[in-house]
Amino acid sequence: MRNLQRSRTSGAYRRRMQLAARLFRAWCDREDISAPFCFRKPATANALLVVYIQYLFGANYKYADAKYLVLFVQTRWRHLKGKLRTAWDSIESWAQDVPSGNRIPMPLVIMETLFRSCIMRASAQVSHPVFAYRFLAFGVLLRLGFIGLLRPGELFKLRKCDFVLPMGPGLSMVVVIHNPKNRLHMGRTQHVLIEDSVVISWLTWLLKYLDQDALVWPCGLPQARSMLQEMLYHRGLRGTGPLLSSLRPGGATHLYQLGMSIERLQLKGRWKSIVTLHSYIQEAVASLVLLELSPQKLQTLECFVSDLSVLDCAPPVSLPKFLCNGGRKH
């Protein structure tokens, strides 16, 4: 049964607040300050937080340490919510010094290269079916994240039961997202329509032999990040910038360039605000990622994708046979 109080915030969000609170308590102990006493009234709470935020700023702590401490105070002492304007003014002033980094989008050609490279690496793991499956699952999920505009935390927690596969060729697939990041505004259960025939073909093939409750990627998010860096290195793309979080802005930028309207893109990506969506559409940054590659390197990637167009469809052999023979029949 869901805990109604704890489930108001995600585990990651609570951990960030707890870390900030721990740092704050250590400071209060050193300064011999009773925080609970100060937090009885908004005036003394603001005064204490302003002094502490200034201390963090001067001691070169992270901006997030200050922001999550104020969020923790609002959560722990509910009567202060909406009454910490002075503290938030200090936070906003600090934010002006924080570099605003663009969300680096993954260009289509890099996603296609990584997807095909993963399939090829899987087919080479003749005597290691576990590793072969990891390359397969990672490559297919990369494409799904790009096409479906999924967040990494959503993408690598998907189970077989979260997919509603099409009943026949030419039909769409639905991905069910549970407890997404924006659940307070968009609902605890969200649905993503997938119309890309390539990812539908591969997922239908990949999921067939999995248990209903099995994770598609059983290795966790940190391992997925390591796998991405390994694949970028394998293709000579290390240092180009894309991360797992680049799939969502990369897909959004690609769909926008194809002519999808902002309104439809907002619905597809489940963004609450069009303003937030605009920060994901980075045509110039996507072009810069490609401009960092030499013309010869870019041509090599494009040829690699074109030459392996056969991988746009899942193999005719079953997943168990593919894992056993390394996909030699594909």
pLDDT tens digits, 161-198 = 999 999 887 889 999 999 888 887 788 899 999 999 99
What is the per-residue burial (b if ≥16 Cβ within 10 Å, else e) of 21-39? bebbeebbeeeeeebeebb
> Are residue 175 and residue 218 in the same domain, yes or no?
yes
169 or 233, higher pLDDT: 233
Stretch 92-100: mean pLDDT, rounded? 76
> Are residue 77 and residue 113 in the same domain, yes or no?
no
What pLDDT, on a 0 to 100 scale, did the predictor assign at position 99? Answer: 57
> Are residue 173 and residue 298 in the same domain, yes or no?
yes
- Output the CA torsion 75→77→83→88 (10° steps): -50
Dihedral of CA 75/76/82/84: which sign?
negative
Distance CA 281, CA 232 (A): 23
Distance CA 77, CA 321 (A): 59
> Are residue 169 and residue 311 in the same domain, yes or no?
yes
> Are residue 89 and residue 178 in the same domain, yes or no?
no
Single-letter amino acid code for the residue at 6: R
How does residue 282 score in pLDDT terms, banded at 50, 70 and 90? confident
> Are residue 125 and residue 87 in the same domain, yes or no?
no
How does residue 281 score in pLDDT terms, banded at 50, 70 and 90? confident
Which of 69, 95, 121 finishes a domain? 95
Distance CA 85, CA 57 (A): 18
Residue from 76, 4, 65 nearest 36 by CA: 76
> Are residue 55 and residue 201 in the same domain, yes or no?
no
State the residue for tokens 């979260």. Answer: 162
How many Cα neighbours within 13 Å face the side chain of 136?
A: 26
Residue 153, domain member (yes or no): yes
> Are residue 197 and residue 274 in the same domain, yes or no?
yes
Count of the separate structural domains present in the chain: 2
295 or 115, higher pLDDT: 115
pLDDT tens digits, one per residue of 213-224? 999 999 999 999
Q: Which residues pair with 265 in a beta bridge?
A: none
Single-letter amino acid code for the residue at 302: E
The whole-model pTM stands at: 0.76
